[in-house]
């Protein structure tokens, strides 16, 4: 969008948390009113109200919809929505016309950007609580069903290793002790498994917690993260929490568009997230694609490979993020015991990076962030050499079965290297979700990821997979008006 034929019009002051910036307001013929602001002011505003940036056309302009601010004209003030294009704010023309009528010589149009509640950090208003998959007990209660299966949260229905269960039982009488905060035994076991030093490993209360540490260590208000769209929602959460801007790059054929992600890097970009395999699509970036990322990537950009589902990846060209850590690149790899190791309820994930990066993250770690039972179960799981292969076999067979059934039904799906499949039902996914839930099968709708006809289904046991397909067939042929009956 071009702004042309503008002329200087009014002086204005822009207040961002008490800091004052001055500039010139103008009226654009045939368009809105505009305010040119210094870059310093603009970047200060990002953490205040920006929802999401969109790159326009050739990438020369960035639009941020719906910044909310208070405009004061003389002694009147009113809320406005402000759009930002490049380093200019566009506000309603009527605002500027009104200002022209109201202001007298030497007065300023005043824009105030303060949080709506002065007690709180502004980012709180931009955060939305995490929406988990619907729990089994809730569905049983709500629908009066006895037999409900959950294929919504990518858990491993095979359950934990018997060795992990034994370790959990054995440790139960000891839980009055605080755990060993730095989890030395588990870090040592992981370091041996992945041929890194224990100082390169840090444990988290799930990898979710480590994402927060990464954000807190790296992101200042006004910084940017780059992520794919759609992807795992926690990257946005962490960026928002830290007052950073989220730059979402649409996927190409439901896979990360690494070239476009790299092109979106600016001087403000601090983190680039690659969920590999990606949630919710299950797709991967290949080794070759990652190789093209390094050339010219600035040093201030840390790449986070979130490999929560790595154990499920079957594609030959699936890259091992740890290779890039060993090559001493500016990389953090995240893994978890929640998926293939089936310890989601205990909350234990880990990051591997350089000793220097792990040292920084360690400063942020809560003293006893991973509990003793979780540590013991994770160590025992690593000693069970059967757990992962058994899981992989079940998943691989389940995936083949589900894909064949989707093919038979003529449904398109993303090629999955994970323990779930993102499939296009061709119908409103909320209706399909409801119809499945009435029959006791819980899946995830695609609308929350911006794909209103997709669902995400976790690959489970053969019996569960078959039940899902049976009910899906019914759901696809059910008139939504009758589905609730
Ligand atoms: C891509 C991805 N990363 C990380 C996580 C979080 O895993 P954890 O249970 O270790 O916090 C998930 C959970 O669903 C995920 O899908």
> Regarding beta strands 454-458 and 420-424, do their DSSP bridges make them parallel or antiparallel, or are they unpaired?
antiparallel
453 lines ligand 1 (CB under 6 A): no
419 lines ligand 1 (CB under 6 A): no
Q: What is the pLDDT of residue 458?
A: 98
338 lines ligand 1 (CB under 6 A): yes
Give the residue among 55, 64, 40, 84 at the shortest CA–CA distance from 265: 55
315 pLDDT more than 60: yes
Work out which ligand 1 atom sits closest to the CA atom of 347: 9
Q: In a mutational test of the pocket of ligand 1, which residue from 205, 336, 369 has the highest number of ligand atoms less than 8 Å from its CB?
A: 336
Question: Three-class SS of residue 355?
Answer: helix
pLDDT digits (tens, 9 = 90+) for 387-406: 999 999 999 999 999 999 99
pLDDT digits (tens, 9 = 90+) for 181-236: 999 999 999 999 999 999 999 999 999 999 999 999 999 988 999 999 999 999 99
46 pLDDT more than 80: no
Token pair recorded at residue 68: 């909310």
Confidence class for position 42, pLDDT limits 50, 70, 90: low
Across residues 86-111, what is the average pLDDT?
72
Work out which ligand 1 atom sits closest to the CA atom of 153: 14
Euclidean distance between CA atoms 357 and 206, whole angstroms: 18
DSSP per-residue letters across 448-463 = GGT-TTEEEEE---HH
Q: In a mutational test of the pocket of ligand 1, which residue from 153, 213, 232, 420 has the highest number of ligand atoms less than 8 Å from its CB?
A: 232
CA distances from 27 to 32, 36, 39, 92 (A): 6, 11, 20, 10
Q: What is the pLDDT of residue 49?
A: 45
Q: Looking at beta carbons, which pairs linking 13-22 to residues 24 or more positions away fall under 8 Å?
A: 13/108, 13/109, 13/110, 13/111, 14/41, 14/110, 14/111, 14/113, 15/110, 15/111, 15/112, 15/113, 15/114, 16/41, 16/44, 16/45, 16/48, 16/113, 17/44, 17/48, 17/113, 17/114, 19/44, 22/108
> In percent, how much of the chain has pLDDT > 70?
82
**Residue owning the nearest CA to atom 13 of ligand 1:** 308
Q: What is the pLDDT of residue 327?
A: 96
Query: Distance, CA 207 to ligand 1 centroid (Å)?
Result: 6
34 pLDDT more than 90: no
Token pair recorded at residue 259: 């070239």
Query: Distance, CA 347 to ligand 1 centroid (Å)?
Result: 10
Query: Distance, CA 332 to ligand 1 centroid (Å)?
Result: 15
> In percent, how much of the chain has pLDDT > 90?
68
CA gyration radius, the chain = 26
Across residues 43-49, what is the average pLDDT?
52
Work out which ligand 1 atom sits closest to the CA atom of 154: 14
Q: What is the pLDDT of residue 442?
A: 96
308 lines ligand 1 (CB under 6 A): yes
Work out which ligand 1 atom sits closest to the CA atom of 349: 10
282 lines ligand 1 (CB under 6 A): no
pLDDT digits (tens, 9 = 90+) for 120-179: 776 776 677 777 778 899 999 999 999 999 999 999 999 999 999 999 999 999 999 999
307 lines ligand 1 (CB under 6 A): no
Enter the pTM of the model.
0.81
Euclidean distance between CA atoms 398 and 108, whole angstroms: 67
pLDDT digits (tens, 9 = 90+) for 405-437: 999 999 999 999 999 999 999 999 999 999 999
Token pair recorded at residue 201: 């490993």
Work out which ligand 1 atom sits closest to the CA atom of 339: 9
232 lines ligand 1 (CB under 6 A): yes
275 lines ligand 1 (CB under 6 A): yes
**Residue owning the nearest CA to atom 2 of ligand 1:** 308
**Average pLDDT value over all residues in the chain:** 87
Q: What is the pLDDT of residue 319?
A: 98
Q: What is the pLDDT of residue 98?
A: 77
What residues contact 365, with CB distance under 8 A and at least 6 apart?
Answer: 181, 202, 204, 213
Token pair recorded at residue 190: 């992981």
Our CA dihedral for 171, 172, 175, 179, rounded to 10 degrees, sits at 30
Query: Distance, CA 371 to ligand 1 centroid (Å)?
Result: 18
Confidence class for position 96, pLDDT limits 50, 70, 90: confident
Q: In a mutational test of the pocket of ligand 1, which residue from 190, 206, 209, 311 has the highest number of ligand atoms less than 8 Å from its CB?
A: 206
38 pLDDT more than 90: no
278 lines ligand 1 (CB under 6 A): no
Q: What is the pLDDT of residue 185?
A: 98
Query: Distance, CA 335 to ligand 1 centroid (Å)?
Result: 8
In which element (H, E) is residue 445 found?
Answer: strand 444-445
Q: In a mutational test of the pocket of ligand 1, which residue from 234, 342, 448 has the highest number of ligand atoms less than 8 Å from its CB?
A: 234
Euclidean distance between CA atoms 396 and 158, whole angstroms: 13
**Residue owning the nearest CA to atom 16 of ligand 1:** 279
pLDDT digits (tens, 9 = 90+) for 228-279: 999 999 999 999 899 888 899 999 999 999 999 999 999 999 999 999 999 9
357 within 8 A of 216, measured Cβ to Cβ: no
Which of 37-41, 55-59, 71-75 is the most confident on average?
71-75
208 lines ligand 1 (CB under 6 A): yes
Q: Pick the residue with more confidence: 407 or 33?
A: 407
């Amino acid at each position: 969008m071009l702004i042309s034929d503008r002329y200087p019009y009014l002086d204005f002051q822009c207040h961002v948390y008490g800091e004052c910036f001055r500039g010139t307001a103008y009226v654009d013929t045939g368009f809105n009113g505009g305010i040119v602001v210094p870059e310093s002011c603009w970047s200060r505003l990002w953490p205040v109200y920006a929802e999401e940036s969109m790159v326009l056309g050739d990438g020369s302009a960035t639009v941020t919809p719906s910044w909310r601010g208070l405009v004061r004209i003389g002694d009147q003030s009113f809320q406005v929505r402000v759009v930002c294009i490049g380093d200019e704010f566009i506000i309603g023309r009527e605002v500027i016309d009104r200002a022209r009528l109201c202001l007298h010589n030497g007065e300023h149009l005043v824009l105030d950007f303060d949080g709506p509640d002065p007690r709180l950090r502004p980012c709180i208003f931009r955060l939305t609580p995490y929406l988990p998959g619907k729990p089994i007990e809730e569905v049983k209660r709500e629908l009066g069903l006895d037999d409900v299966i959950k294929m919504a949260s990518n858990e491993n229905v095979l359950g934990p290793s018997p060795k992990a269960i034994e370790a959990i039982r054995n440790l139960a009488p000891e839980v009055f002790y605080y755990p060993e905060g730095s989890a030395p035994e588990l870090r040592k076991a992981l370091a041996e498994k992945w041929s890194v030093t224990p100082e390169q490993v840090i444990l988290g209360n799930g990898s979710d917690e480590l994402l927060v540490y990464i954000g807190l260590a790296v992101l200042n208000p006004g910084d940017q993260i780059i992520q794919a769209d759609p992807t795992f929602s926690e990257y946005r959460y962490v960026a928002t929490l830290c007052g950073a801007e989220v730059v979402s790059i649409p996927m190409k054929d439901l896979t990360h568009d690494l070239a476009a992600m790299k092109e979106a890097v600016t001087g403000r970009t601090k983190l680039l997230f690659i969920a590999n395999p990606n949630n919710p699509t299950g797709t991967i970036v290949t080794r070759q694609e990652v190789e093209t990322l390094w050339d010219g990537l600035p040093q201030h950009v840390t790449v986070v490979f979130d490999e929560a589902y790595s154990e499920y990846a079957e594609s030959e060209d699936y890259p091992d993020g740890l290779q890039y850590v060993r090559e001493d690149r500016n990389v953090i790899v995240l893994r978890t015991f929640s998926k293939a190791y089936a310890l989601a309820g205990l909350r234990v994930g880990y990051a591997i990076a350089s000793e220097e990066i792990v040292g920084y993250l360690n400063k942020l770690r809560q003293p006893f962030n991973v509990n003793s039972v979780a540590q013991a179960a994770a160590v025992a799981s690593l000693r069970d050499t059967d757990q992962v292969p058994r899981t992989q076999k079940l998943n691989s067979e389940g995936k083949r079965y589900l894909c064949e059934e989707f093919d038979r039904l003529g449904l398109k799906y993303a090629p999955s290297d994970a323990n779930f499949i993102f499939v296009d039902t061709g119908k409103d996914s909320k209706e399909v979700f409801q119809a499945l839930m009435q029959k006791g099968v819980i899946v995830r709708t695609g609308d929350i990821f911006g794909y209103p006809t997709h669902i995400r289904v976790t690959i489970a046991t053969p019996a569960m997979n078959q039940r899902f397909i049976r009910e899906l067939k019914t759901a696809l042929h059910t008139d939504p008006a009758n589905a609730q009956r």
